[in-house]
Amino acid sequence: MSLLVVGLSHRSAPVSVLERAALSTDAQIKLLQDTVAAEPAAEAAVLATCNRIELYADVDKFHAGVAELSTLLAQHSGVGLEELTPYLYVHYEDRAVHQLFSVACGLDSMVVGEGQILGQIKDSLAKAQDLHTAGRLLNDLFQQALRVGKRAHSETGIDRAGQSLVTFGLEQLAAGADVPAWAGGKKALVIGAGSMSSLAAATLARAGVTEVVVANRTFERAERLAQILTDADDNSVTARAVEMTAVSDELTRADVVVSCTGATGLVLTAEAVAQAVEGRTGQPAVAAPTRPAAVPAPLPPTSVGSDENCPLDLAAAQTGFSVMGEAAVAGMNAATLEQHAAWVAGGAVDRQGRRTPEADAELITALAATAATVGRIPERRRPEPPAERPEPFFFLLDLAMPRDIDAAVHRLAGVRLVDIESLAEASADAPMAADVDQVRRIVSDEVAAFGAAQRAAHITPTVVALRTMAADVVASEIARLDGRLPGLDDRQRGEIRQAVHRVVDKLLHAPTVRVKQLAAEPGGAGYADALRTLFDLDPETVASVFRAEDSTETKDRPA
């Protein structure tokens, strides 16, 4: 059996696809059950967050496994296989281990170094254990991933390379200002009471907001979170819980709204936010001014001249415009540009006060080469100043996938919306800390160690079966000796038995130690097969050792 992962994430798919592919809790359970019921897979675990969906499985056939896992992901996500396939990535064996370890360390997160992913990996393992879809391989893999992630955070400064998605989102809302200074005195509404919403509420409370209102479909969970905030020693916030039906009223009081629910539809529509803006200002909500559509300026006139074979309109020439500048050739296709280059090379133009003919000819030739590649020379326009928006007074942070807040609210004047999509764009430009390289080295070392341990563990049942067979042979020969030499006393029998056992142990010791070392190296999986063939070991005996080890591990595993 071999490890395989098929998935998609913010690195491989646009947010619109991730939104539609998001899996509910029930969908994750059904996906796991259907995966282990499929022929190629013996174990399965799914890691589903707002930024990724990854299905890990222990499969006996690579191509059949990829096809089956891809089909199951499409089936349970509701996105057609043909549409989903271009965004899927596949990792096998050591590369699959590397993927999970990198994710656990925060290297593959939208905000590099964030530690929340460790809790999500732990939840994924717990779900697979509860459903009995995680066997020996995936239990070992996920538990080691948690250890690797913790090691990366304790031994390096990866935490300095990024923050949690919540902190990063609040920094984007503050638009470069100090978050505590920006948050001070504001009132916050948190929609949802899950792990992300709880983190957002706690972060806002520590940042200095005066009030946090928690709304959740299960009112008891909202009350519990509000009580936790009230009892915390690291803030002086006032916290209270409300029913979801009170959200519209609370919107008119809140300055900051954070939403992260598991809803499949919008929680806050553009109309609801517009009504909240109107309730706050007493004025109807209006759209923020946008940059007017660019009106193409007329082609500037060329310089003075009426030379033959010039593709430009020289009759409309005005002083000060160069017929050899980039503005003159903007928009020309390759054929026309080549004609223009030949005309310039002829030198029949008044070049007083301009560059040399050779320099101009080189410029035009270079532009012609560009046009030959892309078809046209792009027009160069001065950047237009962005339209000025009024200062925002209503801040919305949407951390849900699929989105909770209608993206259209960003058009409303006085409203600033930050969502997963805008966070992805912002994080692409975030600086990478030097500690990231150190974490990558840790991941590489841990992947090698995990592979070696798995390969060594794979041969252990074969070695155990070999020693068992040797012990059976010794017992059989001792019994035969007792029959042939009945006059031996107990002391003599004991000496003979120990001598035979020592001979067998010494003969097997070096080969079994060496075969474990060889099996731990890359490509060492074949040594177990070689042992079984050389000593004619019963496959069922080896399999029974595997089953016994799995049973012992399951019994000893903490609940």
Residue that is written with structure tokens 């509404």 in the block: 189
Q: Which CATH number fits domain 2-161: 3.40.50.2300, 3.30.460.30, 1.10.3720.10, 3.50.50.60?
A: 3.30.460.30
- Respond yes or no: is residue 310 known to be catalytic: no
Check residue 310 and give its pLDDT.
Answer: 67
The answer to the question of whether 193 is labelled as a binding residue is: yes
Block means of pLDDT (10 residues each) for the chain, 559 residues, are 89 86 92 92 93 93 93 94 94 94 89 82 95 93 96 84 74 89 94 86 92 94 91 88 94 94 88 91 71 47 48 50 49 60 55 51 59 50 57 91 88 90 72 74 93 77 80 85 84 87 86 74 70 75 60 48
105 is in an annotated binding site: no
What top-level class would CATH report for the domain 165-287+390-413?
Answer: alpha beta
- Where on the phi/psi map is residue 67: left (φ > 0), alpha (ψ -120 to 50), or beta? alpha
Annotation-wise, does 49 bind a ligand? yes
Comparing C-alpha atoms, which of 291, 282, 277, 274 is closest to residue 408?
274
- The reply to whether 51 sits in an annotated binding site is yes
Domain with CATH 3.40.50.720 in the chain: 165-287+390-413
Q: Residue 116, annotated ligand binder?
A: yes
What pLDDT is stored for residue 350 in this prediction?
Answer: 43
Report pLDDT for 275: 92
Task: Give pLDDT, residue 77.
Answer: 92
280: tokens are: 């706050």
The catalytically annotated residue of 50, 105, 260, 310 is 50
Residue 299: what pLDDT? 41
Whole-model pTM over 0.75: no
Work out the number of other CB atoms within 10 angstroms of the CB of residue 308.
Answer: 7
Closest to 167 (Cα-Cα) out of 134, 126, 144, 196: 196
In the chain, list all ranges with CATH 3.30.460.30.
2-161
Contact (CB, 8 A) for 459 and 453: no
User: Residue 467, Cβ neighbours under 10 Å: how many?
Assistant: 14
d(CA 36, CA 55): 11
